[in-house]
């Protein structure tokens, strides 16, 4: 297995720059692992593929205004901070533009409407990540902007379109994009069919932005992300596994926390979870929780593409992606969706 096995070419015009309106009118590719078939539908028709007793699991993490503009206190030069992960009160891991020049002790000033917050570089980690201590983190979200992925070049008029309609727990620096297709009305239709909707949280971090650079993907270190599963959700999931009912994950982040949960305990007797998720799912992974997956189309050489390949197989995913490109599907965060059965 090589990282180049997960590479592919995509015409730039297929990278979605704006979201579809309404949300649930994006296209939906339905991929069947049992017979290798592919169907082309609209996302609101996903109800046709769900049945009473299914459990649909969503990531309710909310994207924070993690992009901050500032100036170096020593030189006055402009810089930009992307918050990645909160370590403690006023303490964050972050990416900083032109970070090689930022040594420990250098301070960055972020100016808001009526105050200034200072960020001091107090450490450095792998991949150029800086550890910053802020003078007052309580003001950061008022000063920041929602960070869009680097391949989106069109300004977003309504920042809520980069949030799921059920986003509740602040903490991600990128949206769990498979969930962007759901509307409140569609969720009502799904529940009306007898499908159980459950919510977990996994705060999405750096790996969403980072391709795997090692040619041997097993040498890639995946960044930890913080997740929470309540005991009531764990109990519902355990009951579903005992009853042999389908557990359908909405998004790759949901897959990761569910599989981490099953890795740590018996799938039929799950325990609540609150902690770091560092599970890197590659082909060969034995899925213990997830029976079907709703996902978007992912970047080449990404950990997300590796995960869906592990779930559906290299041949079928390659076929699906080739078909998606030929049929002019829209790719990545604001793009179309795939249901893998």
How high is the pLDDT of residue 208? 65
How high is the pLDDT of residue 209? 62
How high is the pLDDT of residue 74? 86
Say if residues 203 and 232 touch (Cβ distance below 8 Å).
no
Taking only the tens of pLDDT, the chain with its 341 residues reads: 999 999 999 999 999 999 999 999 999 999 999 999 999 999 999 999 999 999 999 999 999 999 999 999 888 889 999 998 888 999 999 988 876 678 889 999 998 877 899 999 999 887 778 999 999 998 898 999 998 988 999 999 899 999 999 999 999 999 999 999 999 999 999 999 999 999 999 999 876 667 888 999 999 888 888 999 999 999 999 999 999 999 999 999 999 999 999 988 899 999 999 999 989 999 999 999 999 999 999 999 999 999 999 999 999 999 999 999 999 999 999 999 999 99
Q: What is the CA radius of gyration of the chain?
A: 20
Q: Could you tell me the end-to-end alpha-carbon distance of the chain, in angstroms, rounded to an integer?
A: 24
Cα 323 from Cα 38, distance rounded (Å)? 9
In terms of Cα–Cα distance, which of 18, 29, 34, 44 is closest to 326? 29
The token pair at 335 is 């793009």
Q: Which domains does the chain have, with CATH numbers?
A: 3-63+155-340 (3.40.1780.10), 67-143 (2.40.10.240)
pTM of structure: 0.92
How high is the pLDDT of residue 289? 97
């Amino acid at each position: 297995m090589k990282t180049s096995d997960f590479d592919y070419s995509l015409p730039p015009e297929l990278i979605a720059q704006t979201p579809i309106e309404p949300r649930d009118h994006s296209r939906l590719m339905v991929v069947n692992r049992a017979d290798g078939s592919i169907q082309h539908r609209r996302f609101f028709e996903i109800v046709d593929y769900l049945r009473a007793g299914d459990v649909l699991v969503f990531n309710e993490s909310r994207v924070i205004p993690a992009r901050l503009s500032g100036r170096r206190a020593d030189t006055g030069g402009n810089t930009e901070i992307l918050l990645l992960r909160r370590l403690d009160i006023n303490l964050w891991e972050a990416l900083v533009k032109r970070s090689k020049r930022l040594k420990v002790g250098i301070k960055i000033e972020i100016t808001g409407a009526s105050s200034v917050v200072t960020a001091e570089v107090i450490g450095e980690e792998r991949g150029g990540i800086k550890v910053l201590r802020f003078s007052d983190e309580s003001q950061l979200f008022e000063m920041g902007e929602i960070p869009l992925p680097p391949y989106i070049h069109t300004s977003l008029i309504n920042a809520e379109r980069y949030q799921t309609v059920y986003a509740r727990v602040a903490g991600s620096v990128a949206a769990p994009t498979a969930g962007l297709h759901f509307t409140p009305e569609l969720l009502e239709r799904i529940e009306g069919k007898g499908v159980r909707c459950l919510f977990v949280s996994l705060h999405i971090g750096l790996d969403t932005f980072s391709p795997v650079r090692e040619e041997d993907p097993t040498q890639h270190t995946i960044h930890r992300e913080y997740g929470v599963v309540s005991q009531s959700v764990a109990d519902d999931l355990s009951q579903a596994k005992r009853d042999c009912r389908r557990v359908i994950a909405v998004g790759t982040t949901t897959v990761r926390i569910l599989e981490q949960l099953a890795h740590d305990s018996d799938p039929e007797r799950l325990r609540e979870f609150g902690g770091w998720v560092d599970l890197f799912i590659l082909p060969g992974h034995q899925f213990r929780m997830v029976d079907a997956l709703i996902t978007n189309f992912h970047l080449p050489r990404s950990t997300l593409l590796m995960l869906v390949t592990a779930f559906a197989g290299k041949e079928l995913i390659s076929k699906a992606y080739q078909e998606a490109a030929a049929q002019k599907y829209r790719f990545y965060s604001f793009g179309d969706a795939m249901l893998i059965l």
